[in-house]
Amino acid sequence: MRILVAMSGGVDSSVAAALLVDAGHEVVGATMKLWGGAGDSGCCSVADVADARRVADHLGIDHHVFNFTESFNAHVVDPYVEAHRQGATPNPCIECNRHLKFDAFLDRARRLGFEAIATGHYARVIAKEDGHFALTRGEDPKKDQSYVLSMLTQEQLRHLLLPIGEMEKSATREYARSRGLRTAEKPESQEVCFIASHTKGVGRGSFLQERIALHAGTVIERESGVKQGEVPAIELVTIGQRRGIGTANSGRPRYVVDVDLARRQVIVGDQDDLLVDGYEINSWTFVDAPLAMGAEVLVQASAHGRALPARLTPLGVTLHAPSRRIAPGQIVACYLGDHVVASGVIAR
């Protein structure tokens, strides 16, 4: 099979490429140049491209660089900035997967005559007897990345290989060592790439301040309505936040339970005030056929969060037991057992 491997310069995608080469496939590597900003840290940096190219050379395969910076700005960076302006908390990595890694990259691969693409994600694609495909959790529960792939469709799964989905991380690194790959001990990147590479300031606040106006906000106690303090930028506050909200001297832990952007107020309360019995969800994507209303599912609202029993409703999902509030803009993935069946964006 002729396969184009998305090589980020990390150990996981390096091993994915090596496994496919060792299995006898015709493999070509490609690294996506996504962020055109200043700096050389975060994914798709100059150093990462160099690592990917050297691994490809070591494996004896061709390596290319695809410049998708325009599309990345339009589909990931600009919506990220706009979401913060509106008081939401976006998930740029999932939107990058949705629009770049499994859309633009797959489209480029198909136009170049490749039969499939492969990535270094810890999840599994399983062909079913009816000709459809299932997306399931990876073998290693600590590294499972099915959540960040929960927006994939049947057409994308049909052309996707996940070679390390059956492996644990320790086995991946061991394979890289046995193959002499330079990325075998390379640490993982945990930061948003365009924030990590932003060298003019110190992280998200500096990045956003150059693109939108940030406004001070008043911190208000939920029950009493008493002012507790102020925050320098209400657009940077997220649901559940405890630090940096000016309540250190209140005598008890306070958590952000709501953000009223129009009034420029941050509402704080006890941990119990964060509990909700469901989420309103929009922008649903189904891995296969849409589920019927009332269907019982497990919902997961972060990459390594706990899966909670819930039921689908016309507005979103109702939880079987109250759980912590999730910020608008975040993604909820729905599972049947270990199988991903749907995902959506939390509206409130």
- The packing angle between helices 46-59 and 11-22, to 10°, is 20
Residue 198: predicted pLDDT: 47
Catalytic residue among 43, 44, 93, 193: 193
Catalytic residue among 43, 44, 96, 334: 96
Q: What are 209-246's pLDDT values in tens digits?
A: 999 999 999 999 988 888 988 999 999 999 999 888 87
Query: What are the tokens at 117?
Result: 């693409």
Residue 117: phi and psi, rounded to 5, are: -115, 160
Residue 218: predicted pLDDT: 93
Residue 37: predicted pLDDT: 55
Indicate the length of the chain as a whole number. 348
How far apart (Å, rounded) are the C-alpha atoms in residues 49 and 55?
10
Topology of domain 213-269 in CATH is SH3 type barrels. (2.30.30)
Residue 252: predicted pLDDT: 80
Of 223, 237, 236, the closest CA to residue 269 belongs to 223
Query: What are the tokens at 144?
Result: 């499972």
**Cα atoms in the Cβ-side hemisphere of radius 13 Å centred on 203:** 3
Q: Is 96 a catalytic residue?
A: yes
Q: Is 93 a catalytic residue?
A: no
Architecture of domain 2-120+163-196: 3-Layer(aba) Sandwich (3.40)
Q: State how far the alpha carbon of 4 is from the alpha carbons of 27, 32, 34, 99, in Å.
A: 6, 12, 17, 17
* Every domain of the chain and the residues it spans: 2-120+163-196, 213-269, 275-346
Q: What is the pLDDT along the chain (348 residues), one digit of tens a residue?
A: 999 999 999 999 999 999 999 999 999 999 999 886 544 455 567 888 999 999 999 999 999 999 999 999 999 999 999 999 998 999 999 999 999 999 999 999 999 999 999 999 999 999 999 999 999 999 999 999 999 999 999 999 999 999 999 999 999 999 999 999 999 999 887 667 778 654 444 588 888 999 999 999 999 998 888 898 899 999 999 999 988 887 766 668 889 999 999 999 999 999 999 999 999 998 899 999 999 999 999 999 998 889 999 999 999 999 999 999 999 999 999 999 999 999 999 997
Domain 275-346 has CATH 2.60.40.10: no
